[in-house]
Amino acid sequence: MALNLNKKLWRIPQKGMVRGVCAGLAHYLDVPVKLVRVVTVLSIFFGLAFITLVAYIILSFVLDPMPDGAMGDENSPTSSELLDAVDAEL
C-alpha cells in the first residue's frame, strides 16, 4: 500500500453518511470506507470520544468537498471484473 504524494485529502459528501470525512480518509488511504467507520466508532467506545468527535468536526470544516469529476477511478474495473479477466487469461 503506497501513498500517492500527489493525492489531496478531500471530504466526499456524495459517499459519506454524515459529512463525508470518513469516505475522504478512506479514499486517501486506499482502504475500505467501512474500515475507517468501524475504527472511528470503536475509538469513540474505547475512551477517545472527545478527541474523535473534535477531530471529525474540525476535519468536516477544514477539508474541501471533492469536486464531482475529481474521482478518476469510476471507470476502473471492479474486483470481480478483474478476477474474471484473470480467470479467462489462465
Sequence spans of domains, the chain: 8-68
**What number of residues does the chain have?**
90
Q: Quick check: pTM over 0.85?
A: no
pLDDT tens per residue, the chain (90 residues)? 555 556 788 888 888 788 889 989 998 898 999 999 999 999 989 988 899 999 999 998 998 888 776 665 555 667 777 788 888 887
Cell numbers standing for residue 28: 486517501
The set of residues, in sequence order, having a beta carbon less than 8 Å from that of 60 and lying 6+ positions away, is 11, 18, 19, 20, 21
The set of residues, in sequence order, having a beta carbon less than 8 Å from that of 23 and lying 6+ positions away, is 11, 12, 15, 16, 33, 36
